[in-house]
Amino acid sequence: MKTLLKSARHAARGIRDALHQERNFQIQIIMAILVCATATFLEFSWIEWLFVIIAIVMVLAAELMNTVVEHLLDLLVPHQHETVRMLKDIMAGMVLIQSLGALVIGIIVVLHHIYAS
């Protein structure tokens, strides 16, 4: 149990570090809060909430993964390198795809909620 609590503290510290240092993660957290406020205001059903929460978690996890890869690449290859640029761009593309997918899910859920009522 102590190991689990210790791991949870490390994970929470990592999320806190990302929240304090990574502008994109901050923006995504703000967007997630706005989405949850909108879902609350519109009184989403549990299934609508499920889709929204999955989309939010996927975007935040992708951003954390992108942050890890960027920092590792900067640490391992401190000078400009075309392969590093390409890898960072690919990771940013992954986050963009996740974000666009979350946006589409949000639009579909909101439209369904409004027109199904």
Alpha-carbon distance of 74 to 80, in angstroms, equals 9
At 9-48, the pLDDT tens digits run: 999 999 999 999 999 999 999 999 999 999 999 999 999 9
| Whole-structure pTM value | 0.91
- Nearest 5°: CA angle at 16, between 5 and 46? 80
Kindly list the structural domains of the chain, giving each domain's residue range(s) and its CATH number in brackets, ordered by start.
28-116 (1.10.287)
At 48-79, the pLDDT tens digits run: 999 999 999 999 999 999 999 999 999 999 99
For residue 1, give the DSSP letter: -
